[in-house]
Amino acid sequence: MQPVTLIANHKLHGSLQSVQDFIRAVEISRKAAPNVQVMLCPPSLYLHVALKAKSADGVTICAQSVSMHAGGAHTGEISAAMLADIGVRHTLVGHSEERARKHLSDDDVLQASLHAVHAGIVPVICIGESADDYASGNTCAALTHQLQTLQSVLATGAPMMLAYEPLWAIGSGKTPKINEIAEAHAHIHAHLKCTKEARDTPIPVLYGGSVKRENISEILAVLGVNGALIGSASLNSNDFTAMLHDAQRRAKGS
Ligand code: PGA
C-alpha cells in the first residue's frame, strides 16, 4: 500500500472560524481515509489555533512559509525556530507565489530549507518549471537545476517532501498532460535516487497546480505521484473531503 499525502494550502483565505471548521470536517471524514496523511497550511496567524483545534492523530498543521534567516531585522518574517517553538513540524518552502513576490533565488530557498531541517521541521520544498521552460521542452532541465541547488539539504538525510508544481499550472486551471506529470515525477525520483545519502524512507514527491475533484483520481494514479498540494479546490471542505476519499482509494490501490 502506497501512502498518499494531501496538502490543503489555504493561502490568504479564511478566518479563525473557518480554520477550525475545516479541521473538524476533515477529521470526521478522515476516519474513512486512514491511509491518507492530510496537511493544512493556514495563514500563519492561525497556525496556533489550528494546532489547538486538531486532534492528536488528525490533520497535520503546516506553515505556508519559513524565513531564510535565523533571526534579525527582517520585518514580517517567521523563523524556523519560532515555528518549532509553537509546535509546527512541517512547512512549505519556496512556493512559487512567495518566490515571485519576494524575488527569492534557488539559494534563498535552500537556506530556508536548511533552517527548517535544523529546527526539526519537515520542509515541503516546491519546485517547478516556468511557462517558458515548459513551452520550450525544458521541464526536466529546469527541475535538474533546482534539485542540484538543493543538494546540500537533500544530502542531510532529514525527513522532507518535494512538491512538483509547474508555475504556469498554479491557480490557472491548466495542468500538464498526464504523461508529462509522469515524466517529471520519474525525473525527480531518478535524481533523488542518485543522491548519495542513504535514507530509511524515500522522499515523497507531490504534484501541485490546479488539482481539483475532476482530475485528482487521474493525477494520483500516476506512478511516482505520492500525493497532491491543493490550493483553491481545498477551500471548500466538501470538495476537499471528496478528494480525500479519492486519495484513500488510490492508497488502497483500487
Ligand atoms: P492551485 O494552487 O491548486 O489553486 O493551483 C496550488 C498551490 O498553490 O500550491
The pair phi, psi for residue 124, each rounded to 5°, is -105, 95
Can you give the pLDDT at residue 1? 57
Residue nearest to atom 7 of ligand 1 (CA): 231
The mean pLDDT value for 213-239 works out to: 96
97 belongs to the catalytic site:
no
Task: Please spell the DSSP secondary structure of 155-188, one letter per residue.
Answer: TT----EEEE--GGGTTTS----HHHHHHHHHHH
How far does Cα 173 stand from its chain's mean position?
Answer: 18
74 belongs to the catalytic site:
no
3-class DSSP state of 90:
strand
The mean pLDDT value for 179-197 works out to: 90
Q: Report which ligand 1 atom has the smallest distance to the Cα of 169.
A: 5
Confidence at 194, pLDDT banded by 50, 70, 90: confident
Can you give the pLDDT at residue 254? 57
Q: Report which ligand 1 atom has the smallest distance to the Cα of 11.
A: 8
3-class DSSP state of 229:
strand
Q: How many CA atoms lie within 13 A of 46 on its CB side?
A: 24
Can you give the pLDDT at residue 2? 63
Selected catalytic residue, list 90, 129, 165, 185: 165
Can you give the pLDDT at residue 200? 66
Q: Report which ligand 1 atom has the smallest distance to the Cα of 92.
A: 9
Rounded to two decimals, the pTM is 0.96
Q: Is 208 in the pocket of ligand 1 (CB under 6 A)?
A: yes
Residue nearest to atom 3 of ligand 1 (CA): 231
For a pLDDT cut of 70, what percent of the chain falls above it?
A: 97
Amino acid letter at 205? V
Can you give the pLDDT at residue 202? 87
Cβ atoms of 163 and 126 closer than 8 Å: yes
Give the tens place of pLDDT for each residue, 195-219.
766 566 789 999 999 999 999 999 9
